[in-house]
Amino acid sequence: MAANDGVVAVRDQGSNVSLQCPKLTETNYTSWSILVETVLRAHGLWKTVTGEDEDEKRNYTTKAIIYHTLPENVLLQVAKHKRAEDVWESIRVRYLGTDRVKKARLQTLRGELERLKMKETESINDYSAKISGIVEKFKSLGSTLDEEVIVRKFLTSVPKKYLPIVAPIEQYSDLDTMPFEEAVGRLKAYEDRIQGDEEKEDQGQLLLACESSGRGKGRGKNFERGGKNRGKGTARGDKSGFRCYDCGKFGHFSYECTKWKNNEKDNEANLIEEEEPTLL
């Protein structure tokens, strides 16, 4: 048996397996009691705690394992007890209180469970862990919750985005017999799917935005060049970029077009030729 960094290692008899127990603190009694009980059961010693086994050697072995997990102040408090059963009960009362205190704590836990709601940004794993933590606190106080109660609480306290999977479960599954782990697994699978769809949609929108931005920059540059060229050309009198609406040629405006001047000269010449015979 060895202690290191708040953990006590207990070697299993007849094997090389090392079982670890946490050091008891002011906040970890629930997990401490679960792990220490498991180690004692693995060594065949739990009956010394329940009072069913009064063998002196096994009693001291149980006390030794428990003592190694206690802080000094708690150890000094419980060392007066001769039986492992009394040591365990003394620790339980210290951290959980008497029956009256237990009832008050159970009522507090019920209110905590009733108010518990999953946040929009919370994951299924994180939220289900919160529910499991409350369930374990009930067990540490000697009380249990029906699996159906836990499952229904879980399904009715998740955000609306899970409704497409919650509704079929409630309608077609037997919630009276469904394990909590199964309900968590179904919603976790649905969560993974919608997260994958959202990632694909985000990637598509990003790609579209990049393409649109690229086209916009190209048009902006071309427009800018064109605007600059036209501005400079106009300032210098360069009209090569302008097209005449009358003759269709580039390089001048319609009011400057020589086509009309040439036509007017031709018309005048024709009139003179037509009038001369008349005068003669």
pLDDT, tens digit, 9 for 90 and up, residues 18-63: 678 889 998 888 889 999 999 999 999 999 999 999 999 999 999 9
Pairing assessment for the beta strands 7-11 and 2-4 based on DSSP bridges:
antiparallel
Please tell me the predicted confidence (pLDDT) of residue 229.
45
Cα(163)–Cα(118) distance, rounded to whole angstroms? 13
Residue 277: C-alpha distances to residues 16, 73, 264, 271 (Å): 139, 143, 21, 11
Cα(140)–Cα(109) distance, rounded to whole angstroms? 12
Binned at pLDDT 50, 70 and 90, residue 233 comes out as very low
Long-range contacts of 159-164 (CB under 8 A, 24+ apart): 159/118, 159/119, 159/120, 161/120, 161/194, 162/187, 162/190, 162/191, 164/190
Q: Give the model confidence (pLDDT) of 132-149 as tens digits.
A: 999 998 988 888 899 999
Cα atoms in the Cβ-side hemisphere of radius 13 Å centred on 2: 4
Does the pLDDT of residue 79 top 80, yes or no?
yes
Q: Residue for token digits 């009209």? A: 239
Quick one: average pLDDT of 99-121?
A: 91
Cα(118)–Cα(159) distance, rounded to whole angstroms? 7
Write down the pTM of the prediction: 0.51
Does the pLDDT of residue 166 top 70, yes or no?
yes
Please tell me the predicted confidence (pLDDT) of residue 255.
61
Q: Which two tokens stand for residue 272?
A: 């003179």
Mean pLDDT (the chain, rounded): 79
7-11: strand order across its sheet: 2-4, 7-11, 18-22
Binned at pLDDT 50, 70 and 90, residue 73 comes out as very high
Q: Residue for token digits 């059963």? A: 85
Cα(222)–Cα(256) distance, rounded to whole angstroms? 30
